Amino acid sequence: MVRRRNPPNAGCLALPGGKIEPGESLQEAAVRELREETGVEAVPREVITAIDVLSHDAHGELLSHYVVIVVRLVWRSGVAAADDDATEVVWLDLEGLDAAGNDVSGTAAAVARRVLREHVEEEAALR
């Protein structure tokens, strides 16, 4: 995860990511955002999930609606170091994720928990 420098989630740990550039594929955007924020090169795999993020004002009026699409990436090269919109790179296992508590954005925590549990189950099945 990265600690966000800018909104949304400024100061919180979240998954690397950002906007898709015009003409860029979803997979290309995921790889680019990871590289820009962490210096890590990766190979894109499948979409893990898509999440609606809605923001409302005090009167309940919709201010914005984003769709966060999480893509599984496999490390290819590079040493993680915060850059661009990130002030810190943090590697968390399930225990670390739980210990981080509200320091991790809610959406990122839910997705990370799911992915980490699946990984633990896959590892156990291989034994």
DSSP H or E run through 121: helix 106-126
Q: pTM of the predicted model, to two decimals?
A: 0.87
Question: What would the mean pLDDT of 94-105 be, rounded to a whole number?
Answer: 95
| pLDDT tens by residue, 30-57 | 999 999 999 999 999 999 999 998 999 9
| pLDDT tens by residue, 71-91 | 999 999 999 999 999 999 999
DSSP-assigned letters across all residues of 23-70: T--HHHHHHHHHHHHH--EEEEEEEEEEEEEEEE-TTS-EEEEEEEEE
| pLDDT tens by residue, 7-21 | 888 999 999 999 999
pLDDT of res. 17 = 93
**18 Cβ contact list (under 8 Å, min separation 6):** 29, 33, 36, 37, 85
Catalytic option among 88, 95, 121, 123: 88
For the question of residue 88 being annotated catalytic, the response is yes
Cis ω for the linkage preceding 44 (within 30 of 0) = no
